Structure 1
Amino acid sequence: MYAALVLFIFMCLTTSHADHHHPCHSHNMSGLMSVLSSRGDTRAFGAFTYDSVGQKLRFQSNESSPTNSSIGLDLLMYFAEGILYEIDSKNQSCEKKKLQMTSHPLDIPDDAKFSSTVTYGSSSIEDEGLKLNVWGGKLTSMKGSYTMYVTMGCLPVNTFYFTETTSFFFSNLDVELEIKDPDLLVVPSFCHGKQLEDTPEGTVNSFLNEFM
């Protein structure tokens, strides 16, 4: 009887603790992002600008990255409108596509589940540890899952994505809580008037699929 009572109290405390954790939404941000595959090769490295209120993201990979596997990308995503622009500034051209999936590593999905709190580094030595909340969930529009490590102030640090065919690790670096260049989130003039391209059956347009 006593053991059952202790177990009941423990379950109540555990549930109460978890219920206090609700997904937060990230700040406006500018910074650098690296993308590694499960094989350890660099898929992309570059700068991002994120408008959390307007739900807009620009990512421009650094083509000077020394790794042969790094891919050149210039992406502008309007998540609220469900639009993805693939931009080629050098040739003054772009492609306008419909977003089938809006998941990205700079914001926690509303349906994310809180997992635990961990400390990177040391929790016992002052200024030598970083306390992070761990969130996870299923990926929509593809068979997979994700795990996000987020600071107490709702700044995503690392995100792991796992699918049936591959896995990716996103890391955010040198982040500042501001939009340094708002013009990066404006559709370039040479993209104006572009019609949505037809999406072939079975194709999923998303930020994540650009690295697959």
Structure 2
Amino acid sequence: MYAAVTLFVFMCLTATTHAEHHQPCHSPNMTGLLTVMTGKGELKAMGAYTYDSMGKKLRFRSNESYPMNTSLGLDLLMFFEEGIFYEIDSKNQSCEKKALQCTMHPLDIPDDATFLTALHSGSASIEGEGLKVNVWTGPMSEAKGHYSMSVTMGCLPVSTFYFTESTSFLFSNMEVELEIKDPDLLTVPSFCLGQPLEETPEGTVNSFLNEFM
């Protein structure tokens, strides 16, 4: 965690003077693999996702398509536009329907993000041995913390680091394909239809990120 925070501070100090000319882009439709690592180096979750950029829908399934020895097994269907999501248990044919208090997630740049700098990962001088990314930062609206998001020139998120006073997480995006390979994954399962919206306890903030905290 210390190394990650040090890197973030370094990037803040080396930000370009032309940051005000950059505007956040929005990710395309994607299918890929997402890993979640804690600041202490623990692999929290690893799983396949399907993301509908236009419809603002996300399905994430950990420990299913890519079984790993991780601490979380999740199947989440998020409807960011509607402000609801489902926690799905396909094995037991059950689900929970909940309200979303925060729509922030690691697969799209928030509209109010601040451009920090452009960096080369690897080598900028050797063809095929480097990746140029834009780094965007901003506060986490649902917690006392900040995020730092690295995005390719084509607006594909590579990694996003979230850190608060109590914890930190690194989301890494891999094996990306620019298509929705299985649209059915973004539809509510039949056994979840008609599920009532659960009451959110006072003080609780439901979000994609909070599922890993």
TM (normalized to structure 2)? 0.90
Find the residue that maps to 1:162 and give its secondary structure. strand
1:26-84: CA deviation from partner (whole Å, max 9, x where unpaired): 000000000000111111000000000000000000256442x4310000000000001
The 1:66–1:179 alpha-carbon spacing in structure 2 relative to 1, beyond 3 Å, is closer
Corresponding residue for residue 73 of structure 1: 74
Find the residue that maps to 1:195 and give its secondary structure. coil
Q: Equivalents in 2 of 1:19, 1:207: separation in Å?
A: 29
Larger radius of gyration: 1
Corresponding residue for residue 139 of structure 2: 138
- The size of the alignment, in residue pairs, is 197
Identity of aligned residues (%): 70
Contact 2:46 2:68 in 1 (8 A): no
Q: How much does 1:197 deviate?
A: 0.3
Q: Equivalents in 2 of 1:39, 1:193: separation in Å?
A: 40
| Unaligned 5+ runs, structure 1 | 1-13
- Residue type of the alignment partner of 2:72: I
Q: Equivalents in 2 of 1:103, 1:167: separation in Å?
A: 15
Contact 1:30 1:177 in 2 (8 A): yes
Contact 1:150 1:156 in 2 (8 A): yes
Corresponding residue for residue 198 of structure 1: 199
- Residue type of the alignment partner of 1:48: Y
Please report the RMSD computed on the Cα atoms of aligned residues, expressed in angstroms.
1.1
Find the residue that maps to 1:22 and give its secondary structure. coil
Report whether the alignment pairs 1:173 with 2:174. yes
Corresponding residue for residue 91 of structure 2: 90
Find the residue that maps to 2:185 and give its secondary structure. helix
Q: How much does 1:159 deviate?
A: 0.2
Q: Equivalents in 2 of 1:31, 1:145: separation in Å?
A: 25
Corresponding residue for residue 53 of structure 2: 52
What stretches of structure 1 move > 6 A for 4+ residues in a row? none
Find the residue that maps to 2:124 and give its secondary structure. coil
Find the residue that maps to 1:209 and give its secondary structure. helix
- Residue type of the alignment partner of 1:198: E
Q: How much does 1:19 deviate?
A: 2.5
Contact 2:96 2:195 in 1 (8 A): yes
TM (normalized to structure 1)? 0.90
- Residue type of the alignment partner of 2:149: M
Find the residue that maps to 2:163 and give its secondary structure. strand
Contact 1:26 1:155 in 2 (8 A): yes
